[in-house]
Amino acid sequence: MLTNGPRGTKDILPDTIGQWLYVEQKVRELCGRYGYKEIRTPIFEHTELFLRGIGETTDVVEKEMYTFNDRGGRSITLRPENTAAAVRAYLQNKLYADAELTKLFYIGSMFRYDRPQAGRLREFHQFGVEALGGDHPAIDAEIIMLAVNFLKSLGLQELELSLNSVGCPDCRPIYRKRLQEFFADKLDGLCTDCRSRYDRNPMRILDCKVDGCKKLSVGAPEITDCLCDDCRDHFEKVQALLTSAGVSFKLDPRLVRGLDYYTKTAFEVQYAPLGAQSAVAGGGRYDGLIEEIGGKPTSAVGFAVGLERVLLALEKQSLLPMHTDSMDAFVVVLGEEAQPTAFRLLAELRAAGLSASMDFAGRSMKAQMKQANKANAHFALILGEDEVRESAVMLKDMQTSEQHKIAIDEVIKKLCAEVKG
C-alpha cells in the first residue's frame, strides 16, 4: 500500500519530464506574445470560494471536490479548477489597479474525485488564461485564438472549435422556463441528477453524459433563440472577428460547459482521436463571477487546457519530441588516493557551467566507463594515482574514442571551448 500512490494520481518520472517541460515552454512563449503574465495561486482555498464561484448545482461541487476541515475548523478545498482562485487573487492583491485589463495565465495541479481513465486523473494539470476587466468581443476572440494557436503550435491537427452563447442574467430566465416546459413530461425518464437539476438549473441537463438523458434532450429549445439583443450582438461580433482572423468554428447550441459562472461566450476545442474524452480546451466569459466573489461588477473571460489530454493527443500523432539527457563530463576515479582531487575537479567543472558527474561507489574503470556511456557524457576525465602525481587527467572524447593526457589546470578551459564553443 505504501509503495503505491493514491488512485487517480501519477508520478511524472525523469524519462517523461522533458515532454512536460516542452509543453510548458510553449505555454510561456505563446502567453508572452499575447501579453499574459504568469500567476501561481495556492493549491487549496476556502471551500466557500468554489461553492459561490463554480456553483452549488454543478457536478464539480456536488460530487468531485476534495474538501476537509483543517485543525482550526475551517472548511478547505483542494482547487478543482483555477478561475475562482485567480479571481480571488485579482481582488485580494488589487491587480485591477495596475491596468484596465489584467491578463493572467497559470500552470498547475487541480484535484477532482472522478473516475480515473486515460487523460482524466484525480490530480490533473491545467494551463489556463484569464482576461479580467474587459467586455469587448475582441477579448473573447483573442482568448479563443490563444487556445487554438497553443494547440496548433504543438503540431496538433484534427482540432474542432465549437462555439455558443449561454446568455446573461437578463435572457437566461426565459430559456430556463422554456427548458422546464420541454422537460416537464420527460422527468420520469431522466436520471436522478437531472431530475434534481430540473428545478435548480435545467441547462445542466443538456450537459448530462447519461445516454437516456441525451436522447430525451433531443429537440430541446436552443438558447440562441432566447438571447437578448446585447448577447446576440456580442455573439455575432465574436463570430465575425474569428472569421476575419481565419479561425474556423462550428456553432453548437447545446454547448453549456460544466460550470455555472459562464455568461455569453462559451467554447470548446475537441481533438476527435481521443474518443469520448475529446475535449482538450474549453472556456468562455464569466461577467458575474467577480461580483459574486465580492468585487465590483467586472467583465472577464478565460479558458483552461487539460495538459494530460494534450500530451495524450501529442502521443497519438507522434508529436512528442525525442528527449535525450546528456552530460558534458564524467569523472572516472581510479583508487582512493584520487578521490579528493577528483571531487575538487567535479566541483570546478560545475562551477564553470558544465554538467558533470562521477562515480561514488568505487566501481571498476570498466563499470565507470559504462556509467559515463549511459549518462551520454561527451567527455570522460580519467583520474588515477599516476595522474594525481603528475597533476594531469586523461581526457577521452566519448564520441570519437580519442584520448590524451592534459594538465589538470587546463582541462576545464579546454572543455569549455569544446562544449560552449
Give one DSSP letter per residue of 289-331, joined into a string.
HHHHHTS----EEEEEEEHHHHHHHHHHTT-SPP----EEEEE
Q: Pick the closest to residue 414 from 390, 394, 388, 385 (CA basis).
A: 394
Q: CA 35 from chain center: how many Å?
A: 18
Q: Considering the domain boundaries, does residue 203 fall inside one?
A: no
Based on the fold, state whether residues 31 and 97 are members of the same structural domain. Answer: yes
CATH of the domain at 39: 3.30.930.10
* Residue 398 pLDDT class (50, 70, 90 cuts): very high
Q: Pick the closest to residue 227 from 287, 164, 288, 283 (CA basis).
A: 164
Domain count, the chain: 2
Q: Considering the domain boundaries, does residue 190 fall inside one?
A: no
CATH of the domain at 364: 3.40.50.800
Residue 236 has pLDDT above 70, yes or no: yes
**232: containing domain:** 14-171+227-316
Residue 258 has pLDDT above 60, yes or no: no
Of 285, 316, 347, the residue that ends a domain is 316
Residue 127 has pLDDT above 60, yes or no: yes
Based on the fold, state whether residues 307 and 332 are members of the same structural domain. Answer: no
Distance of alpha carbon 23 from alpha carbon 128, whole angstroms: 13
Based on the fold, state whether residues 259 and 343 are members of the same structural domain. Answer: no
Q: Pick the closest to residue 265 from 138, 179, 176, 180 (CA basis).
A: 138
For the stretch 265-285, pLDDT in tens is 999 999 988 877 789 999 999
Quote the crossing angle between the two packed helices 83-92 and 47-54, to the nearest 10°: 110
Q: Considering the domain boundaries, does residue 204 fall inside one?
A: no
Based on the fold, state whether residues 254 and 384 are members of the same structural domain. Answer: no
Q: Considering the domain boundaries, does residue 208 fall inside one?
A: no
* DSSP strand pairing (356-358 vs 327-333): parallel
Amino acid at 31: C
Based on the fold, state whether residues 251 and 379 are members of the same structural domain. Answer: no
Amino acid at 284: G
Of 316, 344, 369, the residue that ends a domain is 316
Based on the fold, state whether residues 23 and 160 are members of the same structural domain. Answer: yes
Distance of alpha carbon 36 from alpha carbon 32, whole angstroms: 6
Based on the fold, state whether residues 231 and 285 are members of the same structural domain. Answer: yes
Q: Count CA atoms within 13 Å of residue 36 on its CB side.
A: 26
Of 259, 294, 316, the residue that ends a domain is 316
Top pLDDT among 368 and 56 is at 368
Please give the average per-residue pLDDT across 231-242, as a whole number: 97
**Is there a contact between 60 and 257 (Cβ–Cβ < 8 Å)?**
no
Top pLDDT among 213 and 381 is at 381
Based on the fold, state whether residues 249 and 378 are members of the same structural domain. Answer: no
